[in-house]
Amino acid sequence: MTVYLALLAAMLFLAAVIRPNSSRGGRIGYTIAVGGLLVVIAAVRSVSVGADTLQYVRYYPVIGSIPWANRSELRYESGYFLLNKVLFAVSDDPRLLIVVTSAFTLSVMSWFIYRMSRDVVVSFLLLVLLQVFAQTVTAMRQSIALAIVLLFVPLLLKRKYVWFVLGVLLATQFHATAIVLLVLIPLVRIRFGARTVLLNVAGAGVLFLVAGPLLRLTASNADQYSDYLAAFETSGGKTGVALMAGFYGAVLVAMTVCALQDGPLRAGATSAATFLLHASWLVLPMLALAFASNTYLRLVNYFVPFMIVGVPVAASFVSDRKTRQMVLGGLIAASTVFFLVLSLWRPEWYAVVPYESMWSER
């Protein structure tokens, strides 16, 4: 926990020194500095940090040795298989896999924050506090898939749908669940208002009712993941999911109240803002699915990154500067409590607490 608290303190210190929201140069400098810290912390972590890290480390030499024609023997997508083969040809040390994936995913997320957020300090703090960083070092394949899609989001906002679809299809070569991100496509054409919020809530209710049958249907048709989806240990954690749903729901309500002060947002005039608000609200329907199985928490993790940039965007609609700072300060304080509770109460979810470096393995 000490490392993460020190990281948060470093973010605040660098914000005071660089003042990233004052100039473009400061914004770039802060993004590079904080993004670099995140990459280093993730890259030098022990294999015990991250619930799935050890699994990927163990299979690295296995994938490296298996012929390409036999890749179906393992439940890994072709893109991830190819990545391991290429890296193994460079070095048989699995540390290379950790370094490369950490550098790619966190560099892309840092770029996405720089590109989309209206307050990079708040977004980087939320990246840690809302467990996005923890998810990055835990679900490496899914994080690669998410990072690929994030690279194509600016093209989606320009209505270049074919390119975005190609990006999602590429992402599915690292984690098949990335196909769910196709749901983002229509969001660039829909205005954001109370009605769309109600549709999300209603959609969450419907998904909650059909989550069980949907899980069984998915398990019966997903050869790679059938045993994993049907496993008993993936079916618990409803109290933890309820905690997440309550907190994320409160954040979404706060974002909506801020954004809709002057009425619904048109998709044309503020396409990035409406898109981020829509994408953030998709967290709620995904959490409804997660009540059936913790496996579906992976789907939640695709949309939380949109929240970390959506919070400052929503707050920017508050015209009074003092009120806006109070809103953001309150959300950061509440997110800190959420981070501490989840990290200490459910450390097994991400297995990033306690943090250990690679030097502790010797």
- The per-residue pLDDT for 229 is 54
pLDDT digits (tens, 9 = 90+) for 291-315: 777 777 888 999 999 999 999 999 9
Mean model confidence pLDDT for the chain: 87
Residue 49 φ/ψ region, left for φ over 0, alpha for ψ in the -120 to 50 degree band, beta for the rest: beta
Sole residue written with tokens 């990545």: 83
196/191 Cα distance (integer angstroms): 8
308/113 Cα distance (integer angstroms): 8
pLDDT digits (tens, 9 = 90+) for 68-82: 888 888 888 999 999
φ, ψ dihedrals at 357, nearest 5°: -90, 170
- The per-residue pLDDT for 107 is 97
- The per-residue pLDDT for 236 is 45
- The per-residue pLDDT for 141 is 93
Both structure tokens of 160: 């270049």
- The per-residue pLDDT for 237 is 59
For residue 116, what are the CA distances in angstroms to 2, 150, 153? 30, 10, 10
DSSP one-letter string for 94-121 = THHHHHHHHHHHHHHHHHHHHHH-S-HH
Of the chain, the percentage scoring pLDDT greater than 70 comes to: 89
144/223 Cα distance (integer angstroms): 22
The terminus-to-terminus CA distance of the chain in angstroms comes to: 21
| pLDDT grade for 278, boundaries at 50, 70 and 90 | very high
Confirm if 106 and 136 have CB atoms less than 8 A apart.
yes
More confident residue, 113 or 285: 113
pLDDT digits (tens, 9 = 90+) for 313-356: 999 888 888 988 999 999 999 999 999 888 877 776 666 777 88
Strand partners, 357: 45
43/311 Cα distance (integer angstroms): 28
- The per-residue pLDDT for 234 is 45
58/41 Cα distance (integer angstroms): 21
More confident residue, 211 or 28: 28
Both structure tokens of 8: 């948060």
pLDDT digits (tens, 9 = 90+) for 104-148: 999 999 999 999 999 999 999 999 999 899 889 888 999 999 999
pLDDT digits (tens, 9 = 90+) for 59-68: 999 999 999 8
329/331 Cα distance (integer angstroms): 5
Query: Does the predicted model carry a pTM greater than 0.85?
Result: yes
Both structure tokens of 130: 């809302």
> Residue 276: which of 300, 316, 307 has the closest Cα?
307
